[in-house]
Amino acid sequence: MPAPSAGLMPNPAKGKGLYAQNCASCHGVDLKGRDSGSDKGPPFLNRVYEPSHHGDAAFQRAAALGAKAHHWKFGDMPPVKGLTPDDVAHITAYIRMVQRKAGIN
């Protein structure tokens, strides 16, 4: 299982930029997927992605290994080339921050 560096303090501000570069084209610039004009990936502002259902490790696994379609009909997600586990931790921190602001805990 990919894991970030020991002692890493995930930074949502850094994650926002990494998300924009690596995730937004499929999951939407505002994490709303189809609602923000993307027909390639699901929205992260959905209860399906709350921490109790898809924990942070699920983001690490999906970025490194890809993910089989199981909640949505967008097809399988390919691995995201070039992202380190630390990058994914920053991205996840950004996603979790936006989720909390939207009432998804």
pLDDT, tens only, 35-83: 555 567 888 998 889 999 999 999 999 999 999 988 877 888 999 999 9
CA distance linking residue 43 with residue 7, whole number of Å: 29
**Tokens describing residue 25:** 């084209």
Superfamily of domain 12-101: Cytochrome c-like domain (1.10.760.10)
Question: Quick check: 47 and 53 in contact, CB under 8 A?
Answer: yes
Quote the pLDDT of residue 73.
79
| 105 confidence band (pLDDT: 50, 70, 90) | confident
Q: Helices H, strands E: what count in the chain?
A: 4, 0
* Residue whose pair of structure tokens reads 């696994």 in the numeric block: 61
pLDDT value for 38: 59
Q: What is the mean pLDDT of residues 22-43?
A: 82
DSSP assignment letter at 12: H
pLDDT at 64: 97
Cα separation of 6 and 32, whole Å? 31
pTM of the model: 0.91
Nearest to 57 by CA among 85, 83, 28, 33: 85
